[in-house]
Structure 1
Amino acid sequence: MGAKTGLLMYADGDIPCLLRHAGAPDPDRTSALVRRSYPDAAIERWQGSTLYNGVYPPPGRAYAGSWPGLDVLADQRLMIDSPSQLPEHLVAAGAGRRLVLHAMHSVVDWLAFAVWEDGHLLRSLSLSPDSGVIENIGTPLPFEQPYWAGDRPADVIPWPGEEQDPYPLPFHPLELGEDALRSLCGFIQEGYPEPDDVDAEAISLLGFRMGDGAIPPRSL
Structure 2
Amino acid sequence: MGAKTWMLLYSEGNAAEILKSNPVMDRSATTELVKRLYGLEVNPLEEDGDLSYTCPYDKEIIAGRFPGLAVLAADEFCIDHPSQLDPKFIEAFSSGTLYLHAMHSVVDFFGFAVWKDGTLQRSLSLSPDSGILDDIGSRLPFEVPFWAGEHPAVDPDDEDDSYPFVFHPLELGEAALKEFFGYQLEGMIDSSLIEPGDIPLMVFKR
| Deviation string, structure 1 residues 24-77 (Cα, Å, up to 9, x no partner) | 4111110111112212x342112321111x211243111111011100111222
Distance in 1 between residues matched to 2:19 and 2:131, nearest whole Å? 33
Residue in 1 that maps onto 2:13: 13
Aligned twin of 1:217: none
Q: TM-score, normalised by structure 1?
A: 0.87
Whether 2:135 is the aligned partner of 1:136: answer yes
- The answer on 1:206 being equivalent to 2:202 is yes
Q: How far is the alpha carbon of 1:181 from its aligned partner?
A: 0.9
Question: C-alpha distance in 1, partners of 2:93/2:148?
Answer: 32
Q: Distance in 1 between matches of 2:189 and 2:179?
A: 13
Deviation at 1:12, TM superposition (A): 0.5
Cα deviation per residue 1:133-192 (whole Å; 9 max; x = unaligned)?
0000000111100111121121279xxxxx846101221100101001110111111012
Aligned residue in 1 for 2:110:
111
In the alignment, is the contact (CA less than 8 A) between 2:60 and 2:203 conserved in 1?
yes
Given that 2:154 and 2:161 are in contact with CA atoms closer than 8 Å, whether structure 1 keeps it comes out as no
Report the equivalent of 1:149.
148
Matched residues in 1 for 2:161 and 2:192: separation?
Answer: 38
TM-score normalized by structure 2?
A: 0.93
Structure 2 segments unaligned to the other structure (5+ residues): none
Partner residue, 1:96: 95
Structure 1 residue aligned with 2:56: 57
Contact 1:156/1:167 (<8 A) preserved? no
The aligned counterpart of 1:193 is 189
Aligned equivalent of 2:79: 80
Per-residue CA deviations over 1:186-219 (Å, capped at 9, x if unaligned) read 1111012214311211111011011xxxxxxxxx
In structure 2, the residue matched to 1:218 is none
Distance 2:77 2:23 in 1: 25
Counterparts of 2:155 and 2:36, CA distance in 1 = 42
Counterparts of 2:106 and 2:114, CA distance in 1:
24
What's the secondary structure of 1:142's corresponding residue? coil
Task: Quote the sequence identity (%).
Answer: 45
Looking at structure 2, the residues matched to 67 and 109 of structure 1 have their Cα atoms a distance apart, in angstroms, of: 31
- 2-structure distance, mates of 1:164, 1:106: 21
Q: Give the whole-Å Cα distance in 2 for the aligned partners of 1:203 and 1:144.
A: 26
Q: Are the equivalent residues in 1 in contact too, given 2:13–2:96 (CA < 8 A)?
A: yes
Aligned length: 203
Which ranges in structure 1 are unaligned for 5 or more consecutive residues? 158-162, 211-220
